[in-house]
Structure 1
């Protein structure tokens, strides 16, 4: 097992590429002029995002994507599929958006790369969103999709190697799903996991609390508001099914953890990676100087090398 290491140089002043610093300045300036997300409400923010009226980039959609429906706890769950003719593996993906925003097609360019360059069948889950569908709706849909994949991947896609991952809330849902499959179904079907900039502690880690309201993609207020949308029934913020940082993590697959230094969820990643290894699992930790939350989907100079490492890890 490779040791988990943190290079102190990534935290040094001046360590970030100039392009990363310039992007941060641009994003902060744009966000400072934008309407208050929490005054608009989730439905309006979703509509503005779809029209490209927010700092979030609307990226090209895959021409070969199709939607399938899998059985779920409250009806069928839509799953977006981007797949080559003869896949080498299946990657189950959960999108970001604070359990409140985001769509299953927002990561098409990166899933297209996995399909084209690595031959993966990529399945992105259109799980139910809060506040309309609070906990446990989203995790329940992700669990149902993972169970379907474990049962049907060989027949439907001709693959035996299963991979799983996501970004931000999607990384949270990945960890929750892995623990649920192990504990509720006695299953550990996934060979590797991608956990990018995850939110793993709803009670807030030190970096999440200290970040404040810097308008760099995600701030402390945003994290608290997303959690309030997601958790509406007095859930214990340290319940392992809510905050997987507190779960028993034994017997989970090798995972790659990716985060930027200027991400309020930095500690979530550092703490979760350490607990992953302490539980006897393998983990690779990638911390990128100066980068913001979920920088792998931003025009950040660190994005390409960071995603290349994710792809290499998933390829195995």
Structure 2
């Protein structure tokens, strides 16, 4: 069973406690920021005006475009010399914000420490492009990598990873490859702080207004953007928590105990394991939503855990 001591407030370090308090204080001063027009939220995020600190761009990143169901899909590629594998990355942002170039330091790290050619997907965003646009683009990118990795990167050792909404899209992508194409090309999946039930798990629905990166009203807006008014949000094609998860690759699920999407990870990891898939679960005391976006000793530990997971496969 999960160690309950991980959820004891005394397990939270002073560094993480102070970091969380700073995030809440900053976001509390921004009002109902989640209700701003998506274009404005995206612009502010690019300027570093939001809560996430802007991260430097990789000097070796290159962008190509592949054919997609809604037009060209940009792919941001960071590759070392002689890759030992390839990693499809799906960024987060509530299906509404975020870009493929906002987490280059993480992707550089995977390239350097794990020898992976990292391919980050610039999928279409909601509400301009609601379901199924984002999942369609991620499916197309995964098929491209499965088809092209050997000739382009010299490897068929493939991984997939994503954070928040990106972890949700990751799970849908694996299910689509299995069910629509009979493919299981990835040997490992890295799912960080995902949202696997768009209808909202108890921890998400009951969190309230505290703006520790996310809060309940904000997630409802993001889910509405993605789903629109008429979608069945518990359809397995929309919320992978309800899907048949048999035959999926080994997975590392990571989440902080102060993430309002905590239940999503606890539930999804349990169902992944119950489907007889190899499953690892990393629970980080006091971690807020996608806490690896902020420098801390715990962020380094969480990133090192991801490195070790990839290297072992």
CA contact (8 A) 1:191 1:254 kept: yes
Matched, 1:86 2:69: no
CA-to-aligned-CA distance 1:52-71 (integer Å, 9 cap, x gap): 11111101110000001112
Alignment match of 2:260 (pick from 259, 264, 286): 264
The 2-side partners of 1:298 and 1:96 are apart by 15
What does 1:52-131 correspond to in 2, within 5 Å?
Answer: 52-131=48-127
CA contact (8 A) 1:6 1:285 kept: no
The 2-side partners of 1:147 and 1:39 are apart by 35
TM-score by length of 2: 0.98
The 2-side partners of 1:272 and 1:71 are apart by 32
CA RMSD of aligned residues (A): 0.9
CA-to-aligned-CA distance 1:18-75 (integer Å, 9 cap, x gap): 0000000000110011242233211001111111111111011100000011121111
The 2-side partners of 1:258 and 1:267 are apart by 12
TM-score by length of 1: 0.97
Q: Tell which deviates more after alignment, 243-252 or 205-214.
A: 205-214
CA-to-aligned-CA distance 1:68-96 (integer Å, 9 cap, x gap): 11121111110000001110000000001
- Structure 1 residue 222 displacement after superposition: 1.2
Matched, 1:282 2:275: no
Report the counterpart of residue 244 of structure 1 in structure 2: 240
The 2-side partners of 1:146 and 1:310 are apart by 20
Runs of at least 4 residues off by over 4 Å = none
The 2-side partners of 1:136 and 1:44 are apart by 23
What does 1:99-178 correspond to in 2, within 5 Å?
Answer: 99-178=95-174
The 1-side partners of 2:44 and 2:9 are apart by 35
CA contact (8 A) 1:17 1:301 kept: no
Structure 2 SS opposite 1:184: helix
- Please list every run of 5 or more consecutive structure 1 residues that lacks an aligned counterpart in the other structure: none
Matched, 1:210 2:206: yes
Structure 2 SS opposite 1:303: helix
The 1-side partners of 2:93 and 2:35 are apart by 17
CA contact (8 A) 2:292 2:299 kept: yes
Structure 2 SS opposite 1:302: helix
The 1-side partners of 2:139 and 2:122 are apart by 12
The 1-side partners of 2:275 and 2:258 are apart by 27
- Structure 1 residue 162 displacement after superposition: 0.4
CA-to-aligned-CA distance 1:106-152 (integer Å, 9 cap, x gap): 11001101111111000000000001100000000000000001111
Structure 2 SS opposite 1:72: coil
